[in-house]
Amino acid sequence: MLDISPAEWTAILLSLRVAVIATLVATPFGIALAWLLARREFWGKPVVDALVHLPLVLPPVVTGYLLLLTFGRRGLVGAWLADNLGIVFAFRWTGAALACGVMSFPLLVRPIRLSIEAIDRRLEQASSTLGAAPWQVFATVTLPLALPGVLAGMVLGFAKAIGEFGATITFVSNIPGETQTISSAIYSLIQTPDGDAAAMRLVVVSTVISMGALIASEWFARRATRRLHGN
Amino acid sequence: MLRVDVTKQLGEFSLEAKFESQGRVTGLFGASGAGKTSLINMIAGLLRPDRGVIALDDETLDDTSAGVHVPPHRRRIGYVFQDARLFPHLNVRQNLDYGRQMNRVTADPAQFSRITDLLDIGSLLDRRPGRLSGGERQRVALGRALLSKPRLLLLDEPLGSLDEGRKEEILPYLVRLRDEGIPMVYVSHDAAELRQLATQIVMLKRGRVTALGGVKVLT
């Protein structure tokens, strides 16, 4: 039915790898930030809040360019990471994952934050009177009760990451086999004569992946909600 | 022995309470809004006094002039809330076991079955809190607090959310609990309830202690 070429497979698998890694690496940071924004008052909180949401409102090409300036070979952070830890983002698939992680971060954080804000703090108080230290309260009450939000955030973030285009192509270009994701492959194919059929195949694949992610998130959320209602 | 001498400003409301209690069951009596819950939240460590001292036996739990504030999880003070506050994602057995696990104490099956027998909750162990009646929930909350081996048990209107029939169901268990010998602070606005349970009364009115003594002060 879908006669997918090896080159197209490469783009599909790369997209999946980039989106999965971006989501998995971003999630712990997302949970930590969501918790801080939901539960702590600190100096500069509005600024942190705005920074988290910035990729949502900035033109993606600006985010990509800022990433290039910061994490590129000669960027302040990029040069340090390359010299000291041997981690290179520029024109690598890891850079695509970084771009996708940054771009999807607001979508990851928001549902987690909302679900933490929705937790009855009195349950956390009950936990502490039973002898739970703050980290135990978080691990045994806050996090399990926020789980539907965490899963929803992960799926939304994944869906955003797999469709990311502007920041990725600006930061790490469009190199087949290294940084060419489904989106940038479609972009290339559309500009190639006779590329329509191949582009169409990738459109179908990306639609199926996104639909699958949404259905999975619904299923997880419903299961988790049932658990939380204590039945 | 429990010693409390604190002040706390909460918006327009000011709380100034000073009392000492040797009693096994200290009844904290007053109308709603008298500051009872704020006071036991301070004893539990959930609320910090603006000024003052809270001490239990030989240990100072709060002393604002010395900068002492023992956090709730290190106080070993059990708390039974009016609304039970069972963990909805855990079943009854896991709720009961929660305190023991947080304090990393080895399991004590004898104590576990003694408490579940005392409160008649042995048949509920595999249920989720959402499937319990109000009275059952309150008994599980009692068991959960008891099994964390507290040296003082705070009860904030544990019958407050129950109708008359349910109250009659729980009261005998509270009497059994009193006879277990764990010191308790029992908060209520119901004089009849306190007459049955308390050995000493602290009467609170608009944030001030207005009477101290035996259950006779309730008249």
Q: What is the CATH number of the domain that holds B141?
A: 3.40.50.300
B95: containing domain: 2-218
Query: Using the beta-carbon criterion (under 8 Å), do A126 and B79 form an inter-chain contact?
Result: yes
Residue A227: which pLDDT band, with cuts at 50, 70 and 90?
Answer: low
Tokens 């007459």 locate to B195
Contact B89/A at CB under 8 A: yes
Cα A100 from Cα A166, distance rounded (Å): 10
pLDDT of residue B71: 95
Work out the average pLDDT over A138-163: 91
Contact B151/A at CB under 8 A: no
Residue A28: which pLDDT band, with cuts at 50, 70 and 90?
Answer: very high
Contact A135/B at CB under 8 A: no
Contact partners, residue A108, CB within 8 Å, separation at least 6: A23, A26, A27, A30, A153, A154, A156, A157
pLDDT of residue A117: 92
Query: Using the beta-carbon criterion (under 8 Å), do A133 and B73 form an inter-chain contact?
Result: yes
Does residue A231 have a pLDDT over 80?
no
Cα A184 from Cα A171, distance rounded (Å): 12
Contact A229/B at CB under 8 A: yes
Domain borders along chain A are 6-228
Does residue A1 have a pLDDT over 60?
no
Work out the average pLDDT over A130-150: 93
Query: Using the beta-carbon criterion (under 8 Å), do A144 and B78 form an inter-chain contact?
Result: no
Contact A94/B at CB under 8 A: no
Other beta carbons within 10 angstroms of residue B71's beta carbon come to: 12
- Can you give the three-state secondary structure of A40-88, one letter per residue? CCCCCHHHHHHHHHHHHHCCHHHHHHHHHHHHCCCCHHHHHHHHHCCCC
pLDDT of residue B22: 84
Work out the average pLDDT over A146-153: 89
Specify which residues B9 forms β-bridges with.
Answer: B14
Give the residue from chain B lying closest to A121, CA to CA.
B85
The token duo for B138 is: 């309150």
Out of A122, A133, A140, name the one closest to residue B85 (CB): A122
Query: Using the beta-carbon criterion (under 8 Å), do A125 and B77 form an inter-chain contact?
Result: no
**Closest approach of chain A CAs to the CA of B203, in angstroms?**
25
Residues of B in contact with A132 (CB under 8 A): 73, 98, 102
Rounded to the nearest 10 degrees, how much is the dihedral formed by the CA atoms of A121, A127, A132, A133?
Answer: 10
pLDDT of residue B172: 83
The token duo for B46 is: 């959930």
A166-220 tens-digit pLDDT: 999 999 999 888 999 999 999 999 998 888 899 999 999 999 998 888 888 788 7
Smallest CA-to-CA distance from B131 within B100, B86, B98, B166 is with B86
Contact B16/A at CB under 8 A: no
Query: Using the beta-carbon criterion (under 8 Å), do B99 and A131 form an inter-chain contact?
Result: yes
Supply φ then ψ for residue A189, to 5 degrees. -65, -40
Sheet holding B152-156, edge to edge: B68-69, B59-63, B51-56, B2-10, B13-21, B208-213, B200-205, B25-29, B184-188, B152-156, B77-80
Cα B66 from Cα B60, distance rounded (Å): 10
3-state class of B57 per DSSP?
Answer: coil
Disruptive mutation site among A130, A143, A145, A226 for chain B (greatest number of B CBs within 10 Å):
A130
State how far Cα A204 lies from the chain centre. 22
As its CATH architecture, domain A6-228 has Orthogonal Bundle (1.10)
Beta strands in chain A (DSSP E): none
Residues of B in contact with A128 (CB under 8 A): 45-46, 71-73
Residue A230: which pLDDT band, with cuts at 50, 70 and 90?
Answer: low
Contact partners, residue A89, CB within 8 Å, separation at least 6: A67, A71, A72, A78, A81, A95, A98, A171, A172
Number of domains in chain B: 1
Disruptive mutation site among A121, A127, A128, A129 for chain B (greatest number of B CBs within 10 Å):
A129
Instruction: Name the least confident of A106-120, A136-150, B152-166.
Output: B152-166
Burial of B34 (0-12, 13-18, 19+ CB in 10 A): buried
Query: Using the beta-carbon criterion (under 8 Å), do A130 and B86 form an inter-chain contact?
Result: no
**Closest approach of chain B CAs to the CA of A117, in angstroms?**
16
The token duo for B161 is: 């959310």
Out of A133, A136, A144, name the one closest to residue B89 (CB): A144
**Closest approach of chain B CAs to the CA of A181, in angstroms?**
40
Contact partners, residue B1, CB within 8 Å, separation at least 6: B20, B21, B22, B56, B57
pLDDT below 50 — which residues of chain B? none
The token duo for A73 is: 């070979």
C-alpha angle A194-A195-A198 in degrees, rounded to nearest 5 = 125
Cα A83 from Cα A34, distance rounded (Å): 32
The token duo for A105 is: 């971060």
